[in-house]
Structure 1
């Protein structure tokens, strides 16, 4: 009888302990949710010192081995994928943000050629993305890539974050038979200030799994960024479109960059990552309680 009683006591203790652990886990989930914060990434498009605008001519003096030339650039589209966001805390631990795929864009209306009925992608301007459920902590750096990793780039029917065959660049900016994503696009018109012919279409694009390697950018913050339920974070970047033109010293000749010009695609990607996209500032903002 004593042994039997001991068995029941042990079983009851086990059940109680199990329930207690379950309750602790549930409490931990609640506490974590309450402590999580948000982070905004803002990408301010510029042309040198001026604000970037579509359908506006910007002067550009081109200097190369052949001489000095006065050109003008008028843009109709700037789009790129920001993906695989990671935050580095003060202890050097990386926190990967799940499903972090965001389309940043400034574009005129685009005809969607592979859909029937004359559908059009509307004129859109989006320079800021907001990431929720950031673990509470202090972060000293941020990492992200420009483009889409192979898993999703090889199958645009898969969805994650803002990816999907009926979203953004999947709809109107896919390669050939819409089997993969364009990572970065710049489109518009180049003009000679003087000369004939006086204009050419500008179409610069990057993509392919191979170009995703090397597409990550690491930004060290000047001071640690505190993020929690009471403090939301914000990181501001400048995107200087004029610096993108430095991808080639022959933009009139290389007015079209795509899959058949790998070296120029790499130069275009690298110009964006190392020259055009620059860190401006970061800070935390107190969140007012409801």
Structure 2
């Protein structure tokens, strides 16, 4: 009888240990949340119309006061780099599953969840500002979800001539008299309809080192990525003064500014791809 009691006790202890062992084991995969905080320097941006008294204002290196009424940009081609250097691509050839439009007017778009990420520690995140050349076509059949999101009336992230997606769309006002500021970037084409060739490639690849490793396992890490739109006019590459007009050097509205002028904004926001691979982006913090 005593032996039976000992046997039962051992069985219960072993069962408890096995149960605890199963509970303590890390899952093979979990999620990561990318949170985008759009700022002027350290101040999170509040949008507003020309007469707004609550919109976040900024003063450029050229002394121009400006604020935004609309702020949107496309993130795609996301890759996570493990502590050992292994690169984990995230649906990089699928705009429906691996791209998003960050829209400051829609809080839900500021958090983008990467699902089923292999457990482990990650030291770096890479992503594209815009859409890489080989995927920058308005393909409704192949990527219906992203096509619908980018083309929605409140989003409008497509060029009117149908040659690809807008990569950033910034509307607002500048100077004390609130002149219109409308800055759109994206890859361009040259030639005539039916025989277009690639013009400016406005896609930029961003590489950011995390402030501490993101640990994927039992918890879902949250990586806060700061996008500092002070860099729009006061960037590492260019100090830009906005001017409204019809000359080759005027730049405040998209129907006027040339591809040359647009590229200055692109290099400020996304870096030049060589000496600057961060552009306006940086890592605020990592929450494990």
- TM-score, length basis structure 2: 0.68
Q: 2:112 aligns with which of 129, 150, 173?
A: 129
Equivalent residues of 2:59, 2:66 under 8 A apart: no
Per the alignment, residue 250 of structure 1 pairs with: 241
Equivalent residues of 2:138, 2:165 under 8 A apart: no
Pair 1:180 & 2:184 matched: no
Secondary structure of the equivalent of 1:235?
A: strand
More strand by share: 1
Per the alignment, residue 51 of structure 2 pairs with: none
Per the alignment, residue 146 of structure 2 pairs with: 163
Per the alignment, residue 266 of structure 2 pairs with: 269
Per the alignment, residue 21 of structure 1 pairs with: none
Pair member with larger Rg: 1
Per the alignment, residue 213 of structure 2 pairs with: 224
Secondary structure of the equivalent of 1:85?
A: strand
Pair 1:39 & 2:44 matched: no
User: Unaligned stretches of 5+ in structure 2?
Assistant: 1-26, 49-53, 188-197, 245-250, 271-277
Equivalent residues of 2:130, 2:203 under 8 A apart: no
Q: 2:77 aligns with which of 84, 88, 112?
A: 84
Deviation per CA, 1:107-151, whole angstroms, max 9, x where unpaired? 4xxxxxxxxxxxxxxxx3331111111112221111100111234
Deviation per CA, 1:241-284, whole angstroms, max 9, x where unpaired? 22212255321342124696222222212212344222111132
Equivalent residues of 1:207, 1:259 under 8 A apart: no
Inter-partner Cα distance in structure 1 for 2:158 and 2:203: 21
Per the alignment, residue 104 of structure 1 pairs with: 102
Equivalent residues of 2:45, 2:55 under 8 A apart: no
Number of equivalent positions: 224
Inter-partner Cα distance in structure 2 for 1:214 and 1:176: 18
Pair 1:283 & 2:287 matched: yes
Equivalent residues of 2:132, 2:203 under 8 A apart: no
Secondary structure of the equivalent of 1:265?
A: helix
> Cα offset for 1:217?
0.6
Secondary structure of the equivalent of 2:221?
A: strand
> Cα offset for 1:178?
3.4
Inter-partner Cα distance in structure 2 for 1:212 and 1:37: 34
Q: 2:41 aligns with which of 35, 48, 52?
A: 48
Inter-partner Cα distance in structure 2 for 1:255 and 1:162: 32
Deviation per CA, 1:50-88, whole angstroms, max 9, x where unpaired? 221011455554555xxxx5x432311111111010111
Inter-partner Cα distance in structure 2 for 1:127 and 1:146: 15
Inter-partner Cα distance in structure 2 for 1:210 and 1:145: 18
> Cα offset for 1:215?
0.4
Inter-partner Cα distance in structure 1 for 2:70 and 2:207: 26
Equivalent residues of 2:79, 2:125 under 8 A apart: yes
Per the alignment, residue 206 of structure 1 pairs with: 185
- TM-score, length basis structure 1: 0.68
